[in-house]
Amino acid sequence: MGRVEFWFFRGCMSTFREREITEATLEILERLEVVFHLFERETCCGSVLFRTGLREEAERVRRKNEEEFSKLGVRRLLTACPGCYSTFREYSLSGVEVLHLVHLLHHMLREGKLRLKEKRMRVTYHDPCHLGREWGIYEEPREILRSIPGLELVEMPLSREFSRCCGAGGGVRSAFKELSSAVSRSRIGDALDSGAQILVTSCPFCYHHLKEAAGGKMEVKDLSLLVRDLMEG
């Protein structure tokens, strides 16, 4: 990957609800000495608009983002949100490489630039739909977790391409709250049955929704928070 510059796209959930994910990501980038820029006028990626059938509104958002990226000369776009990642990949942006934070962390791990401190804990990993089933990103987050000395990674029976949705995606949380809550409670049940102490995911929506569903029964962490807390150096 070499020394490259990224534009970091925070996303709505990490800007307005789960700001600690943005804070953790920025700290990680700074400590890894990654060159990055922030958007002064960030617009929603349009993911929910696309996935709930509001095509005209979604298209307006897409055009606005493409114009902004072109004006700023964006060549590499980084985000910690799978919904944003997937949407920007679907834009087919000309000359723009789109990466999720997991890609960057995985690369830094393999380059020996990311080293994580020992932490004795048993964790399980929830695959976000937009990273897993949509783009096949299963191994990278698991390799990052397995690199933590003392960590035991246990799998839920329904994982990878067979993973349950967290219940928040595709507008379900907004339109069908009871269904959304039932799905998230089932996923927390899967995690508890695995014997894990901590449920880790790589998505602000999954993190927010599953943390709410857990209700203190188990700890839920976004991967960015775990990496930030355990980084050496």
Tell me the CATH number at 129.
3.40.50.1860
Q: In what order do the strands lie in the sheet with 219-222?
A: 151-153, 121-125, 198-201, 219-222
- Asked if residue 152 and residue 72 are part of one domain, the reply reads no
- How is residue 50 annotated by DSSP? H
Q: Tell me: pLDDT of 4 over 70.
A: no
pTM for the whole thing?
A: 0.94
Q: Is 153 among the domain residues? A: yes
Q: Which has the higher per-residue pLDDT, 109 or 174? A: 109
Q: How far apart are the first and last CA of the chain?
A: 21
pLDDT in tens, 183-203: 999 999 999 999 999 999 999
- Asked if residue 129 and residue 195 are part of one domain, the reply reads yes
Average pLDDT, the chain: 95
**pLDDT of res. 113:** 96
Taking residues 21-49, report their average pLDDT: 96
Q: Is 142 among the domain residues? A: yes
- Asked if residue 102 and residue 13 are part of one domain, the reply reads yes
Q: Is 209 among the domain residues? A: yes
- Asked if residue 27 and residue 101 are part of one domain, the reply reads yes
Q: Is 135 among the domain residues? A: yes
- Asked if residue 52 and residue 132 are part of one domain, the reply reads no
**pLDDT of res. 92:** 86
**pLDDT of res. 175:** 76
Residue that the structure tokens 């005209």 belong to: 56
Q: What angle do CA 174, 160, 197 make, to 5 degrees?
A: 80
**Domain stops at, among 85, 106, 127:** 106
pLDDT in tens, 125-179: 999 999 999 999 999 999 999 999 999 999 999 999 999 999 988 778 777 888 9
Query: What is the span of the domain harbouring residue 208?
Result: 116-230
pLDDT in tens, 59-100: 999 999 999 999 999 999 999 999 999 999 999 888 999 999
- Asked if residue 122 and residue 67 are part of one domain, the reply reads no
Q: Would you state the structure tokens that stand for residue 141, as one six-digit string?
A: 């987050």
Tell me the CATH number at 75.
3.40.50
- Asked if residue 120 and residue 102 are part of one domain, the reply reads no
The pLDDT > 90 percentage for the chain reads: 88
Count: domains in the chain: 2
